[in-house]
């Protein structure tokens, strides 16, 4: 068997996980030295730290002044569920999904909330829903960037400015990397463990004035758990959006988020973050153009994610295999990359088609992705040689 030589150059940082994502460049534990450890989150210091995180979020993400920003429990999932359980039911809802997490929100609304007037619009992995069929006079729930499919909406032009319903957008792998059009979005959720490389367990919910109006004028027919309640006596609980969190946050994680936001500001803010993600994703896109055995899972160029880039192996020898064989081939590549310590946690999501998922958000250095590309070829050739040997 032909010996396959390993590339000489290795990525300095092999962390390409899609969440929690790589820490910012040059991060160290020393960045957390000013954390409010051992202090109540309700102390003056604790509240100030939480308020700083909210204010920096508004600044870096360019959130309009009249939108409210709150730090909430349970990562992006908690933020989305808070929106679904608190806001839906006032009118019909269109649920839109083209990957795993969006499908999860559809399931929750249909099976758990059991809303009667629900329309579902879904697309297979790699595709996107035809938004011209969605009715924005109803409430609409969708993901901006499908983390498990690498398919995103290219912009918010499909949302009418004069809509009657609310738009609820799961933007967890889009925030800080893609241009969210807040004028078209009534609820935006994300977790800081994605593009800014923060630690897990905390979510962020952003509410437009229209969303606040719904909260203050509509009472769901079902009981709301304490961690979902954003109103009291028919009025929004303003403290939530000033740093008075519903439950106890980790002040260590809050400090880490503040550090990431300050780094983002120093870079040049949102435009600089988006530019880094675009440059990173381009390394993978260019590699696919030059290597016909690999392709982007997203079928159209304008829907390709610049963060959670999902790739499929399209070499004829691999596509000729059954689904289990294709999955085994991809897993073999992932295992090789991990064994060589050049790329960690880059397998496709468990519900997605087999392949690779490589994070390209702003905390990733372009040079590390450039160093990784020859290793993708190395891992592919190793697996293809093993496949040929097994077939001999």
- C-alpha 145/C-alpha 209 separation (Å) is 24
Strands 356-359 and 308-313: antiparallel
- C-alpha 391/C-alpha 385 separation (Å) is 10
Strands 118-122 and 93-97: parallel
- Compute the average pLDDT of residues 68-97: 98
Residue 303, C-beta contacts closer than 8 angstroms, at least 6 positions apart: 128, 151, 152, 153, 154
The pLDDT of residue 391 is 87
User: pTM for this one?
Assistant: 0.97
Location of each CATH 3.90.1150.10 domain in the chain:
270-391
Asked: is 270-391 a CATH 3.90.1150.10 domain? The reply is yes
- C-alpha 288/C-alpha 315 separation (Å) is 12
User: Each residue of 134-188: pLDDT tens digit?
Assistant: 999 999 999 999 999 999 999 999 999 999 999 999 999 999 999 999 999 999 9
Burial (Cβ within 10 Å: 0-12, 13-18, ≥19) of residue 111: exposed
Tokens describing residue 12:
């300095």
User: Each residue of 57-78: pLDDT tens digit?
Assistant: 999 999 999 999 999 999 999 9
Tokens describing residue 254:
């809050």
100, 352 in Cβ contact below 8 A?
yes
Length of the chain: 392
Which of the four pLDDT bands, split at 50, 70 and 90, describes residue 374?
very high
The stretches of the chain forming alpha helices (DSSP H) are: 44-61, 75-87, 100-107, 209-217, 251-267, 270-290, 316-319, 323-339, 366-391
Residue 137, C-beta contacts closer than 8 angstroms, at least 6 positions apart: 91, 163, 164, 165
Which of the four pLDDT bands, split at 50, 70 and 90, describes residue 2?
low
User: Each residue of 198-257: pLDDT tens digit?
Assistant: 999 999 999 999 999 999 999 999 999 999 999 999 999 999 999 999 999 999 999 999
The pLDDT of residue 1 is 46
Which of the four pLDDT bands, split at 50, 70 and 90, describes residue 392?
confident
Q: Domain 33-266 - what CATH class?
A: alpha beta
């Amino acid at each position: 068997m032909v010996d396959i030589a390993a590339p000489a150059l290795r990525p300095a940082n092999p962390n390409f996980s899609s969440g929690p994502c790589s820490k910012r460049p040059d991060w160290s534990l020393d960045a957390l030295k000013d954390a409010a450890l051992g202090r109540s989150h309700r102390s003056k210091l604790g509240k100030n730290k939480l308020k700083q995180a909210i204010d920096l979020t508004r600044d870096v993400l360019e959130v309009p002044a009249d939108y409210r920003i709150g730090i909430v429990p349970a990562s992006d999932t908690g933020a989305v569920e808070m929106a679904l359980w608190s806001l839906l039911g006032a009118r019909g809802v269109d649920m839109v999904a083209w990957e795993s997490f969006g499908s999860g929100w559809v399931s929750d609304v249909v099976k758990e909330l059991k809303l009667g007037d629900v329309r579902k619009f879904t697309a297979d992995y790699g595709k996107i829903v035809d938004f011209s069929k969605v009715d924005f006079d109803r409430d609409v729930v969708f993901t901006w960037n499908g983390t498990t499919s690498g398919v995103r909406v290219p912009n918010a032009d499909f949302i009418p400015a004069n809509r009657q319903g609310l738009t609820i957008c799961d933007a967890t792998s889009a925030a800080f990397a893609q241009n969210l059009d807040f004028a078209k979005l009534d609820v935006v959720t994300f977790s800081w463990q994605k593009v800014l490389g923060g630690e897990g367990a905390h979510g962020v919910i952003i509410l437009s004035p229209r969303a606040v109006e719904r909260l203050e004028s509509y009472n769901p027919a079902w009981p709301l758990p304490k961690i979902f309640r954003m109103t009291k006596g028919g009025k929004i609980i303003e403290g939530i959006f000033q740093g008075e969190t519903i439950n106890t946050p980790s002040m260590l994680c809050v400090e880490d988020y503040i550090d990431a936001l300050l780094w983002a500001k120093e870079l040049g803010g949102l435009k600089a973050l988006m530019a880094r993600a675009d440059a990173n994703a381009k390394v993978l896109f260019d590699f696919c153009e030059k290597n016909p055995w690999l392709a982007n899972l997203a079928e159209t160029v304008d829907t390709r994610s610049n963060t959670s880039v999902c790739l499929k192996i399209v070499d004829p020898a691999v596509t000729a295999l059954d689904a289990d064989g294709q999955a085994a081939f991809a897993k073999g590549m992932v295992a090789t990359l991990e064994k060589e310590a050049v790329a960690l946690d880059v397998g496709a999501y468990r519900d997605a088609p087999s392949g690779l998922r490589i994070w390209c958000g702003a905390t990733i250095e372009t040079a590390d992705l450039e160093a990784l590309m020859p290793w993708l070829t190395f891992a592919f050739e190793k697996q293809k040689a093993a496949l040929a040997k097994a077939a001999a």
